[in-house]
């Protein structure tokens, strides 16, 4: 029997029918993937190779948009800001929720109430949060300046979102306020899965609470941390709503991230400019590459966590 005959034999009759039925079942998701993921991505990549305002016929320009990116100071500024925002928000939004979860899991009285309080900002939309905090940061009427004056630190009062030195930290505070509760809950769920006998053994060995945290809790939560870090990295790479609402990327691009920059290029909405969709799509490809890097980071961290 030849190889080809063997292959035909393997996929003939009821076996073939079973395979076909199997493929029929995955057909919807394959069709969905092709229609809503692969085709838009391929189309986006093609658009990034064109000069196009979103109307008229796109003009193919090869890699010119990517070349222009290299020579675009606002792009580099927004890339830098995106990376800083991602790194800082990931560090803050990984460590603080972990500590909160550990504290609340200690079974103190009122921990359920605090869990609810910390989680509450999560139910408020990013846009609403942004508007609220924008008002709080206002230089003339903001609550934060009033509070500073109230405690005798009026010298620190200023327009927080108008100062290039304070605008990003100010936004990071809001991001932390908004998401800490969510990540705290993920950690809290992870803490429930740690075998209590490990802590009991540590106690017998005379370990302090800090050592328990460092040598038991943190390593045992590594798979959870991988998820939290990945979500934070992805959230940082595609940061948009909060920054768009609070500063629009200003002042003078000091809080410009790739998301706000590409939105402005594509729609010209805040700048009142003529859209450059081809160029904006090239920026979106950079966001895609960073997003993919985050996904690979997750794979790597998950594998490491599994290997421990």
Partner 1 sequence: MSGITRRDVLRAAGATGLALATAAACSDGGSSGSNGGKAKVRMWTWYGEQREQWPALIKEFEASHTNITIENRIFGDTDAYLPALQTSVTGGDPPDIYAPHVLAIEYGKAGIALDLKEAFGEDFLKGFFPSTNDEYTDDGKQYALGWMAQTFGMYYNPTLLDKAGVDVPETWDDLIAASKAIKEKTGLIPCSLSNNPGPTGLDFMLPLITQASDKPQLILDLDAQRNGAKWSDKAVVEALAKVKQLVDEECFAPGINGVTSEQASTAFTNSKATMYYSGSWEPQGFRTSAPKAFVDAYQVAETPAWKQGGKHWCANQAGAGLAVSAASKNAEAAVEFLKWVYEPDRYSKIMNDSNSMPSTIAAAEQISDPFMKKMTSWLTAGNGCGHILFGKGSSDAAAGQLAAVIAGDKTPEEGAKGIQEAVEKAQAR
Compare residues 54 and 223 and give the one whose CB is closer to partner 1.
54
Residue 213 in contact with residue 102, Cβ under 8 Å?
yes
Residue 257 in contact with residue 142, Cβ under 8 Å?
no
Task: For residue 250, give every residue at least 6 positions away whose Cβ sits within 8 Å of its Cβ, in sequence order, or none.
Answer: 167, 256
Nearest to 53 by CA among 280, 248, 258: 280
The two tokens of residue 303 are 């594998």
Compare residues 181 and 249 and give the one whose CB is closer to partner 1.
249
Residue from 68, 94, 111, 302 touching partner 1 (CB under 8 A): that is 68
Compare residues 71 and 307 and give the one whose CB is closer to partner 1.
71
Spatial separation of the C-alpha atoms in residues 254 and 175, rounded to whole Å? 17
Q: Say whether residue 248 binds partner 1 (CB under 8 A).
A: yes
Residue 262 in contact with residue 212, Cβ under 8 Å?
no
Residue 269 in contact with residue 61, Cβ under 8 Å?
no
Spatial separation of the C-alpha atoms in residues 172 and 253, rounded to whole Å? 16
The least CB distance from residue 23 to partner 1, in Å, is: 12
Handedness of CA 179, 124, 284, 296 (dihedral sign): positive
Q: Say whether residue 247 binds partner 1 (CB under 8 A).
A: yes
The least CB distance from residue 54 to partner 1, in Å, is: 5
The least CB distance from residue 21 to partner 1, in Å, is: 5
The least CB distance from residue 240 to partner 1, in Å, is: 13
Residue from 3, 6, 21, 29 touching partner 1 (CB under 8 A): that is 21
The least CB distance from residue 265 to partner 1, in Å, is: 8
Residue from 55, 62, 110, 210 touching partner 1 (CB under 8 A): that is 55
Spatial separation of the C-alpha atoms in residues 170 and 179, rounded to whole Å? 15
Please tell me the count of residues contacting partner 1 according to CB under 8 A.
46
Q: Say whether residue 277 binds partner 1 (CB under 8 A).
A: yes
Q: Say whether residue 17 binds partner 1 (CB under 8 A).
A: yes
Instruction: Using DSSP, state whether 60 is helix, strand or coil.
Output: strand
Q: Tell which positions 144-173 bind partner 1, by CB under 8 A.
A: 158-159, 161-164, 167
Q: Which stretches within 151-195 are classed as H helix?
A: 167-192
DSSP state of 240: -
The helix/strand count (H/E) of the chain reads as 16, 2
The least CB distance from residue 53 to partner 1, in Å, is: 7
The least CB distance from residue 187 to partner 1, in Å, is: 35
Residue from 31, 209, 252, 306 touching partner 1 (CB under 8 A): that is 252
DSSP state of 55: S
Compare residues 102 and 287 and give the one whose CB is closer to partner 1.
287
**Contacting residues toward partner 1, per CB under 8 A:** 17-18, 21, 51, 53-56, 64-65, 68, 71-72, 74, 138-141, 158-159, 161-164, 167, 247-248, 250-253, 264, 266-279
């Amino acid at each position: 029997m030849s190889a080809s005959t063997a292959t035909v034999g393997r996929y003939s009759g009821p076996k073939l029918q079973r395979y076909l039925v199997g493929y029929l079942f995955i057909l919807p998701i394959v069709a969905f993937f092709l229609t809503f993921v692969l085709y838009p991505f391929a189309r986006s990549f093609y658009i990034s190779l064109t000069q196009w305002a979103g109307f008229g016929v796109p003009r193919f320009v090869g890699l010119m948009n990517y070349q222009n990116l290299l020579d675009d100071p606002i792009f580099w500024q927004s890339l830098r800001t995106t990376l800083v925002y991602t790194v800082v928000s990931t560090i803050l939004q990984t460590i603080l929720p972990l500590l909160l979860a550990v504290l609340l899991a200690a079974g103190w009285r009122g921990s359920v109430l605090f869990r609810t309080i910390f989680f509450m900002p999560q139910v408020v939309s990013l846009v609403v949060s942004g508007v609220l905090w924008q008002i709080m940061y206002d230089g003339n009427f903001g609550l934060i300046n009033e509070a500073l004056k109230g405690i005798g630190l009026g010298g620190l009062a200023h327009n927080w979102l108008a100062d290039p030195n304070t605008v990003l930290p100010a936004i990071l505070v809001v991001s932390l306020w908004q998401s800490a509760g969510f990540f705290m809950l993920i950690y809290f769920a992870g803490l429930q899965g740690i075998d209590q006998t490990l802590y009991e053994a540590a106690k017998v060995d005379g370990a302090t609470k800090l050592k328990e945290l460092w040598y038991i809790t943190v390593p045992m939560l590594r798979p959870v941390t991988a998820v939290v870090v990945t979500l934070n990295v992805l959230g940082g790479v595609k940061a948009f709503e909060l920054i768009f609402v609070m500063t629009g990327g200003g002042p003078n691009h000091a809080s410009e991230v790739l998301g706000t920059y590409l939105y402005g290029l594509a729609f010209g909405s805040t700048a009142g400019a003529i859209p450059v969709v081809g160029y904006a799509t090239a920026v979106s490809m950079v966001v895609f590459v960073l997003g993919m890097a985050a996904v690979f980071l997750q794979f790597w961290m998950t594998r490491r966590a599994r290997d421990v």
